[in-house]
Amino acid sequence: MAHKSILVVGGGVSGLTAAIEASEAGSEVYLVEQKSYLGGRVAQMNQYFPKLCPPNCGLEINFKRIKQNPRIKFFTLAEIEKIDGVEGDYTVTVKSNPRYVNQNCTACGKCSEVCPAQRSNEFNYGMDKTQAIYKAHEFAFPMKYVIDDQACLGAECGKCVAACQYGAIELDMSAKSFNLNVGAIVWATGWQPYDAKKVDYYGYGKHENVITNVIMERLAASNGPTAGKIVRPSDGKEVKSVAFVQCAGSRDENHLPYCSGVCCMASLKQATYVKAMNSDSKVYMFYIDVRAMGKHEDFYTKVQDDITMIKGKVGEISEDPVTKDLIVQVENQLTGEIMKETVDMVVLATGMVPATSNVPDAIAYDEDGFVVSNPQQLGIYGAGCVKKPLDVSSSVKDSTSAALKAIQSTVRR
Ligand SMILES: Cc1cc2nc3c(=O)[nH]c(=O)nc-3n(C[C@H](O)[C@H](O)[C@H](O)COP(=O)(O)OP(=O)(O)OC[C@H]3O[C@@H](n4cnc5c(N)ncnc54)[C@H](O)[C@@H]3O)c2cc1C
């Protein structure tokens, strides 16, 4: 008999959408997320284009739909070990990693107050630290603390256990594997930022004030490492001039041969963060051509009036060793002039890389790592940015269609 359940892997906006849509249509859904919280990269944004609302607006509605829906069962801190079977009858082995914190957690934070150990905070791309027992972020769902076992001092310390009046901390939790039987699988593991260090002529990792677009989201966020102040990493000074360098590694055969489609809009959005902080600040955007598709054209037209747009691929970024200011060198394609602009900070618009490293054999992907349909494995569907670079609204549409295909796989056999 065919299994009617659907497995969704990845709890970003794409996986959430596929899981919610399939379950609201009547399917039993298992949602597996590797991190300790749901929401994916969108949870790390400051605002969404084009409306510039905080990510929590959209995510909270999805979390509410999950809470109200008994047909969705979700597992955080979990990953897929193996996929066996055929469309309509898959057996999937899931490894559930320990949170070391149980359902009794009220997120009061007393455990963190007494924790003596620290870890680098990957939610803020390593710009600050948390205690070894931590809440992933202010709006984390589920709202539960988690222990980083690489940083925790273990039972010998035990201060968090003593501080927790709810008996929520279990330092002896361990990883467990279990099987799920499902009829179809939606693979929605999303994207990672391209490693800007590989574009060495832009100096990321060498010049302190060269940052990336994902880091800019955290700098501008009120729950970020600087409480929303966009300041220079080198000296904490307010930023008065910024250069956005487009296609930092994208559309380049030596790096990512494709366009990620969202980086121009992301930089235009981030220009509004800088302008909102200080309307006198000078903002440059160096671009090959601006890709603001469909209705995004309005946003582009509006923002470009406030900033200096220069058509040209930046050749090199150097640093003044004393002031740590950055000198951006570019040939202006419209005038032929070689320009050198000195700015406080540079934001590299790096592209999106599909999160398909270490995936089970059943998942097929192309030479760039994007998930494609596998004729040998019917009933497995990619959704969202793991399939192609997309903005949120297109990811939602793509995942709704993946949910429909998954439902078809569970009913036609
Ligand atoms: C700088 C920047 C700014 C952006 N700003 C905007 C914006 O303002 N507006 C907009 O519309 N779009 C924006 N985007 C695009 C937006 O981030 C994506 O559309 C969105 O993140 C796609 O969601 P997703 O679920 O496909 O992927 P993700 O958000 O990456 O979610 C994937 C999830 O899968 C999990 N996962 C990964 N691997 C595994 C695994 N093996 N097992 C289990 N779980 C796994 C991850 O932990 C994550 O939770 C921006 C993109 C960039 C680069």
If asked whether residues 36 and 149 sit together in one domain, one would say: no
Pair 18, 153 in one domain? no
- How far, in Å, CA of 117 to CA of 298, rounded? 48
- How does the average pLDDT of the chain come out, rounded? 96
- At position 122, the amino acid (one-letter code) is E
- For residues 368 and 344, membership in a common domain is answered with no
Q: Are residues 325 and 201 in the same domain?
A: yes
Task: Dig out the tokens for 103 from the structure.
Answer: 């359902």
**Shortest-distance Cα residue to atom 4 of ligand 1:** 266
**CA pair distance 107, 43, nearest whole angstrom:** 18
Q: Is the CB of 349 under 6 A from ligand 1?
A: no
Query: Which residue minimizes the CA distance to atom 8 of ligand 1?
Result: 48
CA of 352 to the centre of ligand 1 (A): 9
49 in ligand 1 pocket by Cβ < 6 Å? yes
Of the two residues 202 and 413, the one the predictor is more confident about is 202
Residue 185 pairs in a beta bridge with: 7, 380
pTM equals 0.97
**Residues 6 or more apart from 297 whose CB is under 8 A from it?**
none
> Quick check: CB of 398 below 6 Å from ligand 1?
no
pLDDT (average), residues 358-378: 92
Give the tens place of pLDDT for each residue, 191-240.
999 999 999 999 999 999 999 999 999 999 999 999 999 999 999 999 99
Q: What distance in angstroms lies between residue 391's CA and the mean position of ligand 1's atoms? A: 9
* Same-domain status, 179 and 201: no
CA-proximal residue: ligand 1, atom 3 (nearest) = 266
- For the cut 90, the answer to whether the pLDDT of residue 116 exceeds it is yes
Same domain for 182 and 220, yes or no, is: no
Q: Return left, alpha or beta for 203; rule: phi > 0 is left, psi -120 to 50 is alpha, else beta.
A: left
- Domain residue limits at 210: 194-352
At 1 the pLDDT is: 53
* pLDDT surpasses 90 at 114: yes
Q: Which residue has the higher pLDDT, 341 or 57?
A: 341
- What H or E segment, with its residue span, contains residue 303? helix 296-304
Q: Is residue 87 in contact with ligand 1, taking CB distance under 6 Å?
A: no
285 sits in which H/E element: strand 282-287
| Residue 344 to residue 334: CA distance in whole angstroms | 25
Query: Does the beta carbon of 292 lie inside 6 Å of ligand 1?
Result: no
**Which residue from 16, 21, 38, 42 has its CB within 8 A of the most atoms of ligand 1, so it is best to mutate?**
42
- Of the CA atoms within 13 Å of residue 112, those in its CB half-sphere come to 19
Higher pLDDT, 377 or 2: 377
Residue 300 amino acid letter: Y
**pLDDT of res. 271:** 97
| Per-residue confidence (pLDDT) for residue 413, from 0 to 100 | 58
Spacing, Cα 276 to ligand 1 middle (Å):
25
Residue 159 lies in a domain: yes
In this predicted structure, which of 18-27, 127-136, 336-345, 352-361 has the lowest mean pLDDT? Answer: 352-361
d(CA 86, CA 95): 21
Q: Do 45 and 179 belong together in one domain?
A: yes
**CATH code for the domain of 363:** 3.50.50.60
Confidence tier at 2 by pLDDT (50, 70, 90): low
Q: Which residues is 381 bridged to in the sheet?
A: 186
- Could you give phi then psi for residue 202, rounded to 5 degrees? -100, -5
CA gap 8, 10 in Å, rounded = 6
> What is the average per-residue pLDDT within 351-358?
93
Q: Is the pLDDT score of 27 beyond 90?
A: yes
pLDDT, residue 64, reads: 96
Average pLDDT over residues 12-34: 98
Tally of structural domains, the chain: 3
Give the distance (Å) from ligand 1 centre to CA of residue 411.
Answer: 30
Same domain, 119 and 223: no
**Residue closest to 136 by CA, chosen among 12, 223, 20:** 223
pLDDT tens digits along 192-202 = 999 999 999 99
Cβ within 8 Å of residue 122, ≥6 positions away: none
Together in a domain, 303 and 248: yes
Could you report the per-residue pLDDT of 157-167, keeping only the tens digit for each?
999 999 999 99
| Ligand 1 contacts CB of residue 188 (under 6 A) | yes
pLDDT by residue (tens digit) across 338-347?
999 999 999 9
Percent of the chain with pLDDT over 90: 93
Average pLDDT over residues 284-291: 96
Three-state SS string across 359-379, please?
A: CCCCCEECCCCCEECCCCCCC
232 found inside a domain: yes
- Answer whether residue 403 is part of any domain: yes
What is residue 153's three-state secondary structure? Answer: coil
Considering the domain architecture, whether residues 297 and 223 belong to the same structural domain is answered as yes
Give, for ligand 1, the residue of 262, 386, 399 to mutate: max count of ligand atoms closer than 8 Å to Cβ: 262
Is the distance from the beta carbon of residue 296 to the nearest atom of ligand 1 less than 6 Å?
Answer: no
Residue range 31-40: mean pLDDT, rounded: 98
Q: How far apart are CA 187 and CA 164, in angstroms?
A: 37
Instruction: Please state, in angstroms and as integers, the Cα–Cα distance from residue 391 to each residue in 50, 57, 265, 382, 385, following that order.
Output: 10, 16, 9, 16, 8
Q: Distance between CA atoms of 311 and 218, rounded to whole angstroms?
A: 27
Give the tokens for residue 133.
């027992």
Q: How far is the CA of 10 from the centre of ligand 1 (A)?
A: 9
User: Confidence band (pLDDT; 50, 70, 90) for 294?
Assistant: confident
The whole-angstrom separation of Cα 331 and Cα 327 is 13
- Give the model's pLDDT for residue 198: 98
Please choose from 41, 83, 125, 218 the residue to mutate so as to test ligand 1's pocket, defined by most ligand atoms within 8 A of CB. 41
Tokens at 71, concatenated: 């047909």
Regarding whether 361 and 215 lie in a shared domain, the answer is no
Q: Across residues 64-93, what is the average pLDDT?
A: 97
What is the per-residue pLDDT for 391?
96
Span from the CA of 175 to the centroid of ligand 1 (angstroms):
26
Q: Is residue 152 part of a domain?
A: yes
**Closest atom of ligand 1 relative to the 15 alpha carbon:** 25
* pLDDT on residue 295: 85
Q: 136 and 205 share a domain? A: no
